């Protein structure tokens, strides 16, 4: 405490009255956070935090930057860059909510991990018609499947510098930063490093592998996150040019249409998507405009217009199919989108994303089409609000007969989530919708990978899901990455379930539920699944509670059913080796959120120093 007071007063040597007030608030915040271990303590800490926000955005940003620097939560340039971007959004929201209310409890959950989420705010999603009593039957005729490629979480670093220091203390390395050492014992190789987002050359290499293994695919889906992890440096012009380059790269290297969706990194500041009811000069409409222009070549002009007017969501039917792809913006449900805390009123469907889904699913049902949902963040993850996850599940339950599958990314892990008509009675009969979650190109959370699905041309259900990967630890990786089939889900898991999968059976929700039963009893099968999550790199053992929670999370396409436990400071690694549970660690928090949690962790792990 004494050291911090001295540090703070040194920071404000030219003392004005407001600087004194600010210094007092900062030391109050530090004292409150040092001992905060539960929800009540978060409310207590919010009193001086809200007072600081009322002094203005600049006071808030400089106050938290000085705390971040003093406790060494991040390098000083990262503290300053993150807080100058995310700080004003946080200050805006903190000024608007009532401490102790539902929004404030959600905030303490998402930013500090100090509260559990409040109970669901009841809301019934309106539907234009009830579910049909005699729904259309989708039956496989055993016709040869077609292929679809899924890429996700590219995070390409266009400023990657070969030979730069790969072992830095910033969120990503392999770049020349102002404070980079003159020499390094750990130079960045030409194709990437696990502490860095990938160079363009690794993306080029992956696209050659896509052509090699999936050249005949009907189309590709991309489930978001083009921009790399330089969250403390991004601005609108950088993100715009990175989005444009990525679209050009896909268009020039592939001869198949791409159906993309928007990721939380595809904005500046990161995760910044204000609701349309928020009065602010900051808007993310430029992101939707950029994506609309970049995607039009594949999705057509009508869908491109929807991207513009529906905050990034659209629907399109790939030619030669009877399949409606509904691409949604999942970021208005994302806990790290700090705009979502700026009112005590619980807004059930910000920007009408659920209403858009309902319209499109109803249109598919009326037209006798099947539908896929594609998006960035899977609805069951611990970084999705329980409220919106619950409302989303209502939509899935209503249109489960139309929806053949859902596809997401964001976690950087090869995973799946099952939805149920009755979550209190989970079995192969109540299992009724399946979400496939793709691994990432970025090597920060496992070996770089992509998926190729075999799709039944009559039902549009997934017959097989094959993961292709390159091994960054291979001695030849830095000369020329080689890409290989890692595993086929049908070959690996089809024979294990009871009864065994038959040739015309798809990898539907019932199949995946039966597989979770295998994972609870067959140690080898679960061990292999646990390796595959990160494609055999950075694997941590998962037994006991970790295993039961991992299986619980597979059965939780609705976030309130997941077994994730939020703890003070959260865990922020993509695959957290300090946590015994690869699935429970909240996924991919980034930017300002990780700074705030790191401040809390630094204060609490070393409170005597401050």
Ligand X SMILES: *[C@@H]1O[C@H](CO)[C@@H](O)[C@H](O)[C@H]1NC(C)=O
Footprint on this chain of ligand X (rule: CB under 6 A): 167, 185-186, 276-277, 351-352, 355, 431-432, 471, 473-474, 496, 505, 508-510, 522, 524-525, 528, 536, 605-606, 609
State the minimum distance, in angstroms, from the CB of residue 321 to ligand X.
19
Closer by beta carbon to ligand X, 39 or else 340: 340
Task: Give the 3-state secondary structure percentages of the chain, helix then strand then coil, rounded to 5.
Answer: 40, 10, 50
State the minimum distance, in angstroms, from the CB of residue 492 to ligand X.
7
Distances in Å between the alpha carbon of 186 and those of 167, 417, 471, 539? Answer: 6, 38, 19, 22
Distances in Å between the alpha carbon of 401 and those of 393, 421, 433? Answer: 14, 12, 9
Rounded Cα–Cα distance for residues 30 and 36 (Å)? 10
State the minimum distance, in angstroms, from the CB of residue 398 to ligand X.
15
State the minimum distance, in angstroms, from the CB of residue 121 to ligand X.
17
Q: SS3 for 149?
A: strand
Rounded Cα–Cα distance for residues 201 and 177 (Å)? 21
Nearest one of 511, 269, 263 to 410, comparing CA atoms: 263
Cβ atoms within 10 Å of 181's Cβ, excluding its own: 11
State the minimum distance, in angstroms, from the CB of residue 13 to ligand X.
21
State the minimum distance, in angstroms, from the CB of residue 348 to ligand X.
10
Closer by beta carbon to ligand X, 234 or else 357: 357
Q: SS3 for 148?
A: strand
- Report phi then psi at 466, rounded to 5: -110, 135
Cβ atoms within 10 Å of 47's Cβ, excluding its own: 14
State the minimum distance, in angstroms, from the CB of residue 432 to ligand X.
5
DSSP state of 110: I
Question: Cis link prior to 288 (omega < 30° from 0)?
Answer: no
State the minimum distance, in angstroms, from the CB of residue 433 to ligand X.
7
State the minimum distance, in angstroms, from the CB of residue 165 to ligand X.
9
Closer by beta carbon to ligand X, 176 or else 474: 474
State the minimum distance, in angstroms, from the CB of residue 289 to ligand X.
16
Please give the residue whose beta carbon sits closest to ligand X in the complex. 352
Residues in the chain: 610
Rounded Cα–Cα distance for residues 370 and 473 (Å)? 41
Closer by beta carbon to ligand X, 236 or else 522: 522
Rounded Cα–Cα distance for residues 489 and 484 (Å)? 15
State the minimum distance, in angstroms, from the CB of residue 505 to ligand X.
4
Strands of 258-260's sheet in order across: 258-260, 219-222, 146-151, 449-455, 462-470, 483-488
Closer by beta carbon to ligand X, 105 or else 435: 435
- List the beta bridge partners of residue 374: 327, 407
Q: Are 589 and 112 in contact (CB under 8 A)?
A: no
**CA angle centred on 208, ends 409 and 156, rounded to 5°:** 45
State the minimum distance, in angstroms, from the CB of residue 242 to ligand X.
28
Q: SS3 for 377?
A: coil
Closer by beta carbon to ligand X, 369 or else 508: 508
Cα 143 off chain centre by: 35
Nearest one of 382, 404, 319 to 549, comparing CA atoms: 382
Q: Which residue has 């978001």 as its token pair?
A: 224
Closer by beta carbon to ligand X, 249 or else 496: 496
State the minimum distance, in angstroms, from the CB of residue 493 to ligand X.
8
Listing DSSP states for 402-415 in one string gives TEEEEEE-SS-S-E
Rounded Cα–Cα distance for residues 398 and 135 (Å)? 12
Q: Are 262 and 329 in contact (CB under 8 A)?
A: yes
Which residues neighbour 359 within 8 Å (Cβ) at sequence distance 6 or greater? 128
Closer by beta carbon to ligand X, 293 or else 518: 518
Rounded Cα–Cα distance for residues 541 and 527 (Å)? 8
Closer by beta carbon to ligand X, 4 or else 270: 4
State the minimum distance, in angstroms, from the CB of residue 249 to ligand X.
27
Rounded Cα–Cα distance for residues 95 and 51 (Å)? 8
Closer by beta carbon to ligand X, 66 or else 510: 510
State the minimum distance, in angstroms, from the CB of residue 463 to ligand X.
11
Rounded Cα–Cα distance for residues 392 and 419 (Å)? 11
Which residues neighbour 338 within 8 Å (Cβ) at sequence distance 6 or greater? 86, 89, 90, 93, 271, 272, 592, 593
Rounded Cα–Cα distance for residues 540 and 534 (Å)? 10
């Amino acid at each position: 405490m004494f050291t911090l007071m001295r540090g703070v007063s040194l920071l404000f040597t030219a003392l004005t009255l407001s600087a004194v007030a600010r210094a007092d608030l900062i030391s109050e915040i530090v004292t409150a956070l040092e001992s905060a271990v539960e929800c009540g303590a978060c409310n207590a800490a919010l009193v001086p935090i809200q007072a600081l926000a009322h002094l203005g955005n600049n006071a808030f940003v400089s106050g938290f930057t000085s705390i971040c620097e003093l406790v060494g939560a991040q390098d000083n340039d990262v503290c300053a860059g993150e807080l100058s971007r995310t700080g004003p959004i946080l200050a805006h929201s903190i000024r608007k909510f009532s401490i102790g209310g539902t929004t404030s409890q959600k905030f303490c959950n998402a930013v500090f991990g100090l509260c559990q989420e409040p109970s669901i705010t009841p809301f019934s999603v309106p539907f234009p018609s009830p579910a049909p009593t005699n729904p259309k039957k989708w039956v496989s005729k055993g016709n040869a499947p077609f292929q679809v490629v899924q890429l996700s979480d590219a995070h390409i670093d266009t400023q990657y510098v070969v030979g730069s220091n790969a072992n830095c203390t910033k969120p990503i390395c392999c770049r020349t930063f102002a404070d980079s050492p003159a020499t390094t014992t750990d130079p960045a190789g030409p194709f990437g490093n696990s502490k860095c987002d990938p160079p363009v050359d690794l993306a080029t290499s992956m696209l050659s592998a896509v052509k090699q293994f999936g050249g005949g695919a009907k189309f590709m889906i991309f489930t978001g996150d083009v921009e790399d992890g330089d969250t403390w440096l991004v601005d609108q012009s950088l993100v715009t040019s990175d989005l444009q380059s990525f679209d050009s790269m896909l268009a020039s290297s592939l001869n198949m249409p791409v159906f993309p969706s928007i990721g939380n990194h595809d904005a500046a500041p990161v995760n910044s998507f204000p609701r349309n009811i928020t009065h602010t000069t900051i808007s993310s409409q430029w992101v939707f405009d950029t994506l609309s222009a970049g995607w039009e070549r594949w999705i057509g002009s009508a869908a491109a217009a929807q991207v513009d007017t529906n905050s990034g969501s659209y629907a399109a039917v790939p030619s030669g199919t009877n399949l409606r792809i509904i691409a949604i913006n999942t970021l208005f449900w994302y806990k790290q989108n700090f705009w979502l805390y700026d009112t005590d009123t619980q807004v059930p469907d910000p920007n009408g994303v659920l209403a858009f889904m309902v319209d499109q699913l109803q249109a598919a049902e009326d037209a006798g089409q099947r539908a896929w949902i594609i998006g960035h963040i899977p609805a069951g993850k611990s970084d999705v609000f329980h409220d919106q996850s619950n409302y989303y599940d209502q939509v899935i339950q209503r249109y489960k007969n139309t929806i053949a599958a859902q596809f997401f990314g964001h976690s950087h892990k090869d995973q799946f989530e099952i939805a149920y008509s009755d979550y209190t009675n989970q079995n192969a009969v109540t299992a009724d919708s399946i979400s496939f979650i793709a691994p990432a190109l970025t090597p920060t959370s496992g070996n770089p990978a992509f998926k190729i699905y075999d799709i039944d041309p009559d039902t549009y259900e997934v017959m097989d899901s094959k993961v292709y990967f390159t091994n960054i630890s291979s001695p030849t990786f830095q000369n020329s990455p080689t890409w290989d089939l890692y595993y086929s889900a049908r070959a690996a898991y089809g024979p294990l379930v009871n009864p065994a999968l038959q040739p015309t059976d798809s990898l539907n929700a019932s199949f995946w539920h039966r597989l979770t039963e295998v994972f609870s009893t067959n140690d080898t099968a679960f061990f292999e699944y646990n390796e595959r999550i990160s494609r055999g790199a950075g694997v941590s053992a998962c037994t006991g509670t970790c295993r039961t929670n991992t299986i619980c999370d597979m059965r939780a396409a609705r976030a309130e059913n997941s077994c994730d436990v939020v703890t003070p400071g959260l865990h922020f690694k993509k695959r957290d080796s300090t946590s015994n549970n690869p699935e429970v660690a909240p996924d991919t928090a980034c930017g300002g959120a990780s700074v705030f949690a790191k401040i809390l962790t630094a204060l609490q792990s070393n409170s005597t120093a401050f």
